[in-house]
Structure 1
């Protein structure tokens, strides 16, 4: 690791007249506190970056001074200073940032700098030895080691960073530092830790270098990241959901929303479909589908192998550059109690549907019994049963009547403005629905 320290730099950034950074992260799963409250550090092929109150790190990519770090470190800075391992200091300019992947790119005017060796993060596996070099709390060129705990770790159930989780000690001053494998290759950029106290607790997360370098290429060439979009939202498949959708195994990306006027809609993708393969690549986890889409350019034609109503289908989609605008349906207020699942439901007023950006759905006024035991609460919304969309209370009763008693169904529920399928087992004997008085 000592030979790698020369490629790690310390950096200080200055934001004048404002409390910077925290509110600028656009990651959908960003924690309540910014990444900078949780980590920052450098490596032999990394650079240390420091904000007004926080230190951070980076790694040298080119001999003329291109430096990779975290977006939350350098977004909206007024000034950035980089210190090399040999003590030299340089002013740096921000080449570009991509907050959705927490990748930032800096440039200093230098020549003949040592350059980090870039590895292949796809080869990492749980148990692999890894090391970080950074400047935790300002202690330059500090080395910490550990193992890979998990790969493709998505935080908060969303977002598009398949984090590499490690038990490497990360502390303030280490954001943007490189994570090395046993061959001294950079395999990730340390981005955040999970902590209830703000200190290291054995849960560190890093952006895979394969993803980071794809972002770097776009930031260097066009200054922004151009992404392809299907225009759909997906959820992880679970054993209970696989059973409710009659899948042969627990694999695939479950569609929970299809945007109007989107490539997904044009391809014929429906809510409740399970995408099993993308351009011939089998999808085991929904995160793999997100990564496959992000690797394609807008305008590319792609093949989707989906599971619908217990049968295989093939769809073709032309990826678009941006998510489409959603449209919404009208509905009227009506109430009914579903005795079988312990749900008291009413139709969602049009104004509320517009605010929540949903097309239809039923408002949960009360939840008891099987529904409550699965986490459904009053104030939530039930949007669909399996792949059948619900607009009226009658739709709920009519759909349940077609499903055999005792079978597990998947309720598409909106909670905290997020959609997720919830498996619920129907009672062994059917109960009649009664209107609320």
Structure 2
């Protein structure tokens, strides 16, 4: 009888859907959070040396970082030796970074850091994402207030919808701006999850596999940007990972 029971259980396990035997979300977070970094600038000659601007994450060889194009500064103060910085770990260790490729249309930027490689995300397939799929994203919603502790939110893909442009001026949407989103549309993921300004550039991933599905880039704001922390809308937009594949290809990198 025990042998028959074991055989029965073995047969059931063989036919279980793959997702049911994959790691759960806590295990996935523990695995991917080390690939999530802060993005900003560093000015060694200034009293406030570090300035946090958003979230990023490691890809490819572990020395390349993806974030939103709008997270990067439009200019740097050369006289003060200001440079783009990637902040690693809870203490926010500074790693100097340089721009490699920027895609303003899809609000994506690829950077390269100095020093040793870090854990990196594996890329998933955006074409397999369906409305109703569970997703998670990890980042630094309020920046390094008490240290760079990665924060994870989860939700579902509420819609796969056209959007006109993901550039700098559209990073925070309100009802008035939506009326102007009519030219050069492309599809984005609308998530029923709450993100904040510091989440710009956060990786959106499959909660079971940890594979990258998109990049957070916009938050729907009901009234003003100032109200987002006290009254979030719970609507977030993400750029599908396929546009990141194109960006990596332009840089001569394999996902």
**Which of the five TM-score ranges fits, normalised by the shorter chain?**
0.5 to 0.7
Counterparts in 2 of 1:269-288, with a 5 A limit?
none
**Aligned equivalents of 2:109, 2:131: Cα separation in 1:** 27
Counterpart position of 2:56 = 58
Whether the aligned pair in 2 keeps the contact of 1:74 and 1:94 (CA below 8 Å) is no
Counterpart position of 2:65 = 67
* 1:210 equivalent in alignment to 2:242: yes
Counterpart position of 1:82 = 86
Higher helix share: 2
C-alpha displacement at 1:82, in angstroms?
Answer: 0.8
**Aligned equivalents of 1:13, 1:159: Cα separation in 2:** 32
* 1:5 equivalent in alignment to 2:33: yes
Counterpart position of 2:156 = 147
C-alpha displacement at 1:120, in angstroms?
Answer: 0.7
Counterpart position of 1:109 = 114
* 1:186 equivalent in alignment to 2:191: no
Counterpart position of 2:188 = 163
C-alpha displacement at 1:2, in angstroms?
Answer: 1.9
Question: Higher mean Cα deviation, 5-14 or 201-210?
Answer: 5-14
Cα root mean square deviation, aligned:
2.2
Counterpart position of 2:224 = 197
Whether the aligned pair in 1 keeps the contact of 2:62 and 2:119 (CA below 8 Å) is no
Task: Report the secondary structure of 1:138's partner residue.
Answer: coil
Residues 1:64 and 1:107: Cα distance change in structure 2 (over 3 Å): same
Whether the aligned pair in 2 keeps the contact of 1:169 and 1:204 (CA below 8 Å) is yes
Question: What are the ranges of 5 or more consecutive residues in structure 1 without an aligned counterpart?
Answer: 16-50, 223-437
**Aligned equivalents of 1:144, 1:11: Cα separation in 2:** 19
**Aligned equivalents of 1:99, 1:5: Cα separation in 2:** 26
Counterparts in 2 of 1:86-105, with a 5 A limit?
87=91, 88-105=93-110
Task: Report the secondary structure of 1:217's partner residue.
Answer: helix
Whether the aligned pair in 2 keeps the contact of 1:100 and 1:159 (CA below 8 Å) is no
Residues 1:6 and 1:147: Cα distance change in structure 2 (over 3 Å): same
Whether the aligned pair in 2 keeps the contact of 1:190 and 1:205 (CA below 8 Å) is yes
C-alpha displacement at 1:14, in angstroms?
Answer: 6.2
TM-score by length of 1: 0.40
Counterpart position of 2:123 = 118
TM-score by length of 2: 0.67
**Aligned equivalents of 2:75, 2:60: Cα separation in 1:** 22
Whether the aligned pair in 2 keeps the contact of 1:55 and 1:137 (CA below 8 Å) is no
Pick the structure with greater CA Rg: 1
Counterparts in 2 of 1:23-422, with a 5 A limit?
52=51, 55-74=53-72, 76-78=74-76, 79-85=83-89, 87=91, 88-138=93-143, 140-155=149-164, 156-182=181-207, 183-195=209-221, 196-198=223-225, 199=228, 200-218=232-250, 220-221=251-252
Whether the aligned pair in 2 keeps the contact of 1:175 and 1:192 (CA below 8 Å) is yes
Task: Report the secondary structure of 1:173's partner residue.
Answer: helix
C-alpha displacement at 1:64, in angstroms?
Answer: 4.5
Whether the aligned pair in 1 keeps the contact of 2:126 and 2:213 (CA below 8 Å) is yes
Question: What are the ranges of 5 or more consecutive residues in structure 2 without an aligned counterpart?
Answer: 1-28, 44-49, 77-82, 165-180
Whether the aligned pair in 2 keeps the contact of 1:63 and 1:111 (CA below 8 Å) is no
C-alpha displacement at 1:85, in angstroms?
Answer: 2.7
**Aligned equivalents of 1:61, 1:158: Cα separation in 2:** 31
Task: Report the secondary structure of 1:13's partner residue.
Answer: strand
C-alpha displacement at 1:161, in angstroms?
Answer: 3.4
